[in-house]
Amino acid sequence: CLEGELVCDNDLGRRDAPLARQLVAAGFGSLALAPLSGADGSVAGVLLAVRRGTPLQSGDCEFLAQLARHVALATHHAALYARLQHSYDELRGAQQRMLEQERLRAIGQMASGIAHDINNALAPALLHADALLEHDGALGESVRSRLDAIRRGIEAVAATVARLRELYRPA
């Protein structure tokens, strides 16, 4: 049977094998073994049928052989389905990862645009504050202190924007 052949035996009592002795002890006299052959012809399993009393007929053995072919085919289809399901799950995971990467890329582009706009808005204010502090000697200490506070605030915002750029910089 392990070589792919149907085995029918109606006289288990004459066999000196552990399985045959156990079946005879349990009251069985006939046995049929049908191979569950894979698509490549290898034996993936064995279908066993035993009978008490009346011997197995050729029709019984043929039925078992047909049943074994159907069981082997169903097993093969179940394995194919499992592999297909696994492939589908992997594909779905890859699609999810691609969508997440695309979403992160879009967020990065948006953040880059916002950072650019913030820097463009801050640049003139910083230039004017620096120019006033450097070239206008008539400014009082109170005004100079306020302009310096404005300049430090602008530089702090620019530093924050620079740190944000590090988050979305392409690898």
Q: What are phi and psi of 39, to 5 degrees?
A: -60, -30
Task: Specify the pLDDT at position 52.
Answer: 92
Task: Specify the pLDDT at position 171.
Answer: 58
- Say how far apart CA 53 and CA 123 lie, in whole Å: 102
Q: What are phi and psi of 29, to 5 degrees?
A: -120, -20
Q: What percent of the chain has pLDDT over 90?
A: 56
Mean pLDDT of 152-160: 92
Task: Specify the pLDDT at position 2.
Answer: 82
Task: Specify the pLDDT at position 106.
Answer: 87
Task: Specify the pLDDT at position 39.
Answer: 77
| SS3 letters across 51-101 | ECCCCCCHHHHHHHHHHHHHHHHHHHHHHHHHHHHHHHHHHHHHHHHHHHH
Task: Specify the pLDDT at position 22.
Answer: 92
- Say how far apart CA 34 and CA 61 lie, in whole Å: 8
Band (169; pLDDT cuts 50, 70, 90): low
Residue of higher predicted confidence among 89 and 2: 89
Give per-residue pLDDT as tens, 14-53: 988 898 899 999 999 999 999 998 878 889 899 999 999 8
| Strand 30-37 relative to strand 43-51, pairing | antiparallel
Give per-residue pLDDT as tens, 57-94: 999 999 999 999 999 999 989 999 999 999 999 999 99
Mean pLDDT of 107-136: 87
Task: Specify the pLDDT at position 16.
Answer: 87
Q: What are phi and psi of 160, to 5 degrees?
A: -65, -45
Mean pLDDT of 122-130: 90
Mean pLDDT, rounded, of the chain? 89
